[in-house]
Amino acid sequence: MENFNNYLSQLIEYRRDFHRHPEPGWCEYRTTYMIYKKLKELGYNLKYGKSITEEKSRFGVPDSKTLEYFEKLALESGIDKEFLEEIRGGYTGVIAELELGEGATVAFRFDIDCVPVQETSCTEHLPYTLGFSSTNDGYAHSCGHDGHMSIGLVFAEIIARNKEIFKGKIILIFQPAEEGVRGAKAIIDKGILPKIDYIFGGHLALSLEEKSSFSAGSTGFLASRKFDVILKGKASHAANSPENGINALLAATGIINGFNNIPRHSQGSTMVNVGVLKAGSSRNVIPENAEMQVEVRGENNELCNYMFEEAANIVENISKAYKCQYKILEVGSSLSENCSSELVDKVYDIVERSKIYNNIHKAKEIKGSEDYTYFMKHIKENGGQATYMLWGADIKDSFHGSGFDFSEESMINAVKSLYEITKNIL
């Protein structure tokens, strides 16, 4: 029997290394290499690069300048040059498989990207005080994915060390580009996953901000569609010849007002948010270009689609009214999906018997979006079961905040829960 506490220092080492080197979605080059290298040492069969993601389904791939910037950082950090060539262009992520004889096929998903947040240098922030805060300006692991990867790698090691007691197949999905809900669909659409009997996802602290708590399932997944609106007008001197200009910024503000006037729906909650608006070039020039980053959400898939269609209609008609050209570019999406009740019950019973946590819940509401829902839908449609667990963790600041941090010792309980679940199923 493993002494799990012996792995705590390894968990912390992994976590602090990943935390120090955050990389956004489709740019997780160093991260992918570190995961690949460890899993290869452990004897897993590995897939990565273009073999695991469908090109046409890779939402929101950054521009070439951003990709090249993170490729350069990865090389400087010591990534193998030949390996980088295999994942260059944003083909990040790793899928690992371990064949352990005849039995069920069980998959686990761990997200690997960071968020575009400038990490605080406040002396009360533990990563800054202990010297492992982000070295990449404008990016930070302020959502706990550094912990998720660390949990995944230590779990992988424990399984490999004890593989003689299991029968079946284990699949570990280290998924790129969860933020902005961009990466899961590309893996599903590639068609490389075998028939999976059970799939598990999870998140540290989400709705459980107390480290002795656990939830076997989650509810409240909001369907979401992310899109950019690109407007093209015509520049002209604001005083000398304003009649010759076509004001893209004015069109954008009209569109934003229109978004906020979309009627709410009687069948459930709906949301719209414009998070970024960029426009114009100078105070005395009619703005020729405008760009908005927008998201809509709905309590279910139908409501989300309703919001998107209403928003698209507003973009089209207001752009025409202002004589602007427009484009709508989809850059991410997630579904509203439910956990499998039978699997939730199974996980609840397993973890309760293990006495890992003091407070155990069947399901907690998260009120957010997660592209793991694509995995859930795919596995369920093919006869399998899926759940999304929550591992309690004390946190500082809010998710995606500049001072976000979580209790590192909470990771060991997450590993224990994954091991107990695997032991009982396989």
Domain segments of the chain as ranges: 4-220+336-425, 223-333
Question: What pLDDT shows up at residue 209?
Answer: 81
The proportion of the chain whose per-residue pLDDT surpasses 90, expressed as a percent, equals 96
Average pLDDT over residues 383-388: 98
Average pLDDT over residues 303-313: 98
Pair 214, 208: CB distance under 8 Å: yes
Question: What pLDDT shows up at residue 61?
Answer: 96
- Cα separation, 316 vs 327, whole angstroms: 9
The proportion of the chain whose per-residue pLDDT surpasses 70, expressed as a percent, equals 100
pLDDT value at 240 more than 70: yes
Average pLDDT over residues 287-316: 98
The fourth-level CATH superfamily of domain 4-220+336-425 is Zn peptidases (3.40.630.10)
Pair 185, 356: CB distance under 8 Å: no
Which tokens go with 213? 């708590």
- Cα separation, 158 vs 42, whole angstroms: 10
Mean pLDDT (the chain) is: 96
pLDDT band at 367 (very low <50, low <70, confident <90, very high): confident
Residue 268 is given by DSSP the state B
Average pLDDT over residues 5-10: 93
SS3 413: helix
Tracing tokens 């740019």 back to the chain, one arrives at: 27
pLDDT value at 239 more than 90: yes
pLDDT band at 345 (very low <50, low <70, confident <90, very high): very high
Average pLDDT over residues 143-172: 97
Q: In the CATH hierarchy, which top-level class contains the domain 223-333?
A: alpha beta
Radius of gyration over alpha carbons of the chain, in Å?
A: 23
pLDDT value at 355 more than 60: yes
Average pLDDT over residues 22-48: 98
pLDDT value at 369 more than 90: yes
Closest CA to 143 of 245, 19, 8: 19
Q: What is the tens place of the pLDDT at every residue in 86-138?
A: 999 999 999 999 999 999 999 999 999 999 999 999 999 999 999 999 999 99
Residues 6+ apart with CB under 8 A from 412: 4, 5, 7, 8, 11
SS3 274: strand
Q: What is the tens place of the pLDDT at every residue in 314-330?
A: 999 999 999 999 999 99
- Cα separation, 232 vs 99, whole angstroms: 54
Q: What is the tens place of the pLDDT at every residue in 95-107?
A: 999 999 999 999 9
pTM of the model: 0.95
- Cα separation, 130 vs 121, whole angstroms: 11
Pair 60, 113: CB distance under 8 Å: no
Average pLDDT over residues 231-242: 97
Question: What pLDDT shows up at residue 1?
Answer: 54
How far CA 177 is from CA of 77, 183, 285, 296, in Å, comes to: 21, 5, 37, 18
Question: What pLDDT shows up at residue 177?
Answer: 98
- The full length of the chain comes to 426
